[in-house]
Structure 1
Amino acid sequence: MRETASPLFALPCGADFPAELVRGLRARLAGSPPEAMARVQLFLNTERMRRRVQEIFVAEGASFLPKLRVLTDLSPEAARLGIPQPVRPLRRRLELTQLITRLLDAQPDLAPRAALFDLADSLANLVDEMQGEDVPPERIAALDVSNHSAHWTRTQSFLNIVTQFFDAEAAPDPQARLRRTVEALALHWDQSLPQDPVIIAGSTGSRGTTLRFMQLVAALPQGALVLPGFDFDMPDHVWSGMGDALTAEDHPQFRYRRLMDLLGKTPADVQRWTDATGPAPDRNRLISLALRPAPVTDQWITEGPLLPHLGPATEGLTLIEADSPRDEALAVALVLREAAEAGTRCALITPDRGLTRQVEAALDRWGIRPDDSAGKPLALSAPGRLLRHVGALMGRKLTSEALLTLLKHPLVASGGERGPHLLLTRELELKLRRNGPPFPDALWLREWAGARKEEAALPWAEWMIAALAGLEQAVILPLADHLARHLRVTEELARGPWGSDTGELWLEAAGIEAQRVVCELATDAEAAGRLALHDYRNLFDAVLNRGEVRQDVQTHPLIMVWGTLEARVQGADLVILGGLNDGIWPKLPAPDPWLNRRMRKDAGLSLPERQIGLSAHDFQQAIGAARVVLSRARRDAEAETVPSRWLNRLTNLLGGLPDQGGDQALTQMRGRGQVWLDLAHRLETPEVELPLSPRPAPRPPVAHRPRELALTRISTLIRDPYAIYARYILRLFRLEPLHRSPDARLRGSVLHKILETFVGQRRPEDRPSARRLLMSTAEAVLAQEVPWPAARALWLARLERAADFFLDHDGMEGGIPVSLEEKGRIRLETLDFSLFGTPDRIDALPDGRLHILDYKTGTPPSEKQQELFDKQLLLAACMAERGGFRQLGPAEVAKITYIGLGSSPKIVSTPMTAEATGKAWEDLHKLISRYMVAETGYTARRAMFETQFPGDYDHLSRFGEWEMTDRAQPQDVGHDA
């Protein structure tokens, strides 16, 4: 079948490789008997390529098919030659996990424990690569690391542990089995050469074992290699300059140079498989020059002017440079939409899964579902999320947020009637948000359920308690036991209180894939040994993240989303290369924790730039399509981005060739891209711009306005009347966040309780005893009220610093506490209004007058602030003088005092006079009477202390659409409006 002495054939960039492969094969067998095709063995680089080639053969009519094989699957030959079955990849990684666990125990500075499975995975990949490149452990051990840091010396000695996996008696890894098979096949073919054609197509020979097999096939009389994306435009002097991997590994054609060296061939020996030139041969020549190896890019100066006018080469190129990833995704979605409407086969090619998800979300608004080759990460599916939620709870105290996250999951209680479950979950959430504990336990859940009227509440709570029982215990167990406990809890939650099976947990494509992953983990669990719980959690998440789910849904037949490898598999009329930023395409090489760049070179392993070179080859193939859109975002969520090195080279080359129309071609490329960005902007811009909301000042009917307020709410009425309107007229209550934290509000209430308890228990005693009593009281209250150990320790330390300040000033006036946290009330008879409140403390002084005190965890208000806004104690004095506290009767107030016990303790005392209390009482009447008339509105943020101070009702008043300097616009609301 081979017409020339050279076994090397190739197709240019941009050609539909599978279609041209089939066309060339049929042309070479034209005139042969029909069964001649059946004798051909055709090895393809991927399973996807094999399916595409088969589809093309079938579409051309009934005929014999060649033996279609995947290049990396030589299982029939291995079985025939007696090569044992390989070790499952997961099992090998679990075995390495045990070894690395001991390493981290001995050298904790090597890596964080969270990276345990990632280290095992990277080490397994290193072993796989060593076996594929035929690099024995002895070669690693023999490397000279005298000039390297101690880290690499320790790593080199640790790598001795992988020696056992290279023994001839050991069960081989997949790559070791493949290499053994290839070597055994070489011996077999030496004795009995295949007489039928053997072809390897679609591979670049980037792996050592694959390269070895390609050598064997090339040496066969009927053997041939068909290379994808070969650069026929690259001059010989460039080929000859790519001998050093350190400088040329990242070039898209470097692997072909290495293959030709092994076969003793030159670029002139590479024949065209068919007469296909690709849709854009002029562009291929331009891209070939742009992607020259970095040391020889000076050839742009000499060879660039030899290019023809660049208008025809770039007329099919569009460059989208968006301001943000969202703009890029929307512009790409619009390109795909137009292609769908025009009936154009279009593919988005990108390694950026974030971009593809945004594009698919944008296409969903038009009902377009693209055919996504990558599927959905298993960890983001419903079963994956539930498994991760349960795993995150293992060994940790149950929080309100975590509990409700579980209960609200769509798979929880899916084994039976879900209505009562959702109803009780809602009621539990309201309870937890209003006044529930941050860490609900079994006792609290039973008390809550027992107080409910629903009959199902108590059984529901008991199911919840039983399902989560013992989950917070952090124990060291075998992996199998950890996994069994994990699955027991997950399946019990999915079953629900009234179900009889595991609900919908293991159903649908995601459930089936999740069950396959956990079953595989259970099968090989004994290889991992005993693990601490935190190591198990990290390992399980890492295993789950490796899974993918492909949903069987109806997709648009013309719109595809491909990874970079699929670019060579299928052809498209319009190709979009998205996410062209450095770090995305190409993806930066991951740090290698085992071997640095020089060590890899000396050992005969590929350099980190290998992946960049493979990505460059995928880029060079894809940009050869008939019509191509290049897109990138100038900045991401964090900072400005750097254009992909290939895009950067292309634009720099075009900009430097004005005589060939390069600068004009680049301007036109950007102009065509700007059209799509303008459309995206128009799509996001509303046709009718809605006016901004004005600063509100609602005026409800007087009959519905509050007839009583607390002392602390008077300052709110002065500073933010709208909050009074929302809280007391609309009856909108602030709900606590699910993620409870030790905030300032809790710190203040805890401090009040500590001091109230201390003052109530204190007896005449010496200073050291009083201090011990204060601190012991603080410890007891903190232990009861603050379930966060770190917050307890911090707040106790703060109080320790402020304790002497408090004791120095406590009772220095000779006062005796006569009221602690006791409520008072007084009525403003002329206004039909009541004022009530509970001062922290009231002392009776020796002269019979009163001293009113208030404790603050922050900075006390100044005298000016008390006079104008913070009138809490001033009005408390007015109440006391007018008999507002029944147990005290009318009494003169000598002074009011704020005691600040924050980081800088401070006391602000104000002497009281009849004039001061009289004015405050009169001002209160004026304030309340003003809001008792219909013309007065409750203005939002009327006189805030700080403009950035957050309010509980800012979202309701639409603060942000208006500013503090805007005039309020009163509006009548309610039935009387």
Structure 2
Amino acid sequence: KVLAKNGTLPEINRIAVVVPTPLPYLYLAKQVFGQAGIPYQLQDGFPLTTEPYLAAIDLLFDFIEHPTEYSPSFQLLLNPFFEFPGVSEHALVALETELQTRNNIHGNEAWARMRNRSRQQPVQLGIPGLEGHNHSGLVQNVLETIHTLEHTLTPMASPTTPMTTKINGMRDFLTRYERTTSPHDDAPRHNRARGALLTILDQLENVDRVLGESPVEFHTFRKTLHDAVQSHTFSERTGDNGIHIIDARSAALGMFDLVILVGLNEGEWPSRRDHNIFYPQWLLQDFGWPSDFDSLSSERIAFKELIRVSRRHVAVFRHQLEEDAPTISSPFLEDIEDLTAAHTQHIPARAMNALVTSRNHALRSGLVQPDRSVPKRPTPGILKQRLPKPEPVSATAFELYLRCPFKYYAKYILHLDEEDEIHMGFSPLQRGRIVHEILKEGFQQWDATADVPQPYTEENYDQAVSLFRRIAKEKIPRKYHSIELARLFGSHGHVGAIEWVLRQEMTRGPVAKRFVEHPFRTNLRLEYGPNGESPWHVDIKGRVDRVDIDLAGRIHVFDYKTGKAPESKVTLQIPLYAMCLAQDFSAETTQATYLSLRDRKAVRRDDYEKTATQLRETYRLISEGHFPPRPYQDHLCNSCGYIGLCRKEISETALPTEVQEVKPIT
């Protein structure tokens, strides 16, 4: 603004803002210049491992290691970076339905039997959700594709093949099945990641040929490729016009009319040195390590050369506070005064407020022309295109979206496996799965003794506890018996979790029918949909822990939680299940309850209107591609397995969190 007032401001493309280190200055500069409306250009380095294309390659490796398991096969076939002839979303739904019907999830023999059976079966129509499709033909297409992939990729999994053979197998797979265009409509980024991977494969192949092409285990090949990818970075350019934002090393190679140096504080100019804690400085000097004096002299010379990069003007700035603590100015400031003593202009700190630039100031000062469009920054977590309908809707998946939209994107769109936490003992996931199995088998065996479910009373309470305890001993690993049995069945002065559940049952009336681990798929009808359509039918599928039908025909829905009872703003599972089952059974729902086994607390949910609103809004946001890294509680990032992928700490834009209700179109 001072130079503009004097009529000496250079063209905006001849101005450079020089930062001592990329972080945090690059992101701060992008935010400041973006809000002020001043065009800028920079190149930023990113690790190759953050590219979604590389995550798709990981799915290929998972399939090679476990070709006959359910999850790796489906994740590979669903991945948007690959295209398999004859495999569609309908075909995968058909196979999933077949697997659920036959309770066959994986195994060479089971898959082979299904493949042979599907070849012999006649045309079968009328599968729910697949009307008009050849069910057996769809299943056969998927099974044949999996069989072909398994046969094609077998040489890669063999421990007797060299790395060159494994690399050629990867190339053949990519050539045959890779989509010709990026699924995310970002062809340059996709081609850059693909080219980097192929280059790495070429380099590994050359090294292997030099070393003699000896056989390698597949896990060794996978780790070698991972290490090579992790060491690879790529540059992403932002903007092609405006002020240059560059670091000190790059600035020395440019030529500008105005150079603005920021961060002239001790520890940044010069940079803070980390001393070796194992060897003294005098010993390292004997082996060629530079002394502190030599390093400081070298940085001082480079700084003086940096000042001479500008042909006309140099501006320097320092911040006086860092985390509310005063900072110390850089000793290099004295060098600037010595070099430019006759042409130095000092701006008092109290006058800086008048020089802070906004977009209006930039327009008046000529930094930005009114007809010049400012580059629009992409919003983190917002896809450019709409996604297919997220049906059938899974309440568990939608709850994950409510907790963190990006986590939903990573798991259900990119199909990435979350890194599990390492537990020395019994993990919460193991405990939850086993507790659900104990409750399932316990209720089933108790109800199997009579035509209708037996009520739980004081007279048969000990008998019921003995039944559940016997099942628990069979399910829980022996080394955890003492702790886990006490947790479930209590001790002196302590009520166990299953004891509490049975006591809850004693307070309820008789039951005419009980379903445990009940799977369902419902075409739920709501008054209106996310875009105002009326009525709205949405496909919902799930598995409810327990459904009781009382003597009056009313249904009671229960969901067990081994942790604390969930908050209503991020949960819709149990009320949504109740809405679906009430429609399926043509009955009235009188109770939809979370049973928190940890807190010994029953939490009823009858907010069905709020649940419908959550469902509509979540459905709309997912369909429109809204996946910002925005957990509803920040502490969830501490235990998130995708923390290295979302880069939440540099996200610059957040979406509003309020739920916006859509009214029906009239």
| TM-score, normalization by structure 1 | 0.34
| TM-score, normalization by structure 2 | 0.46
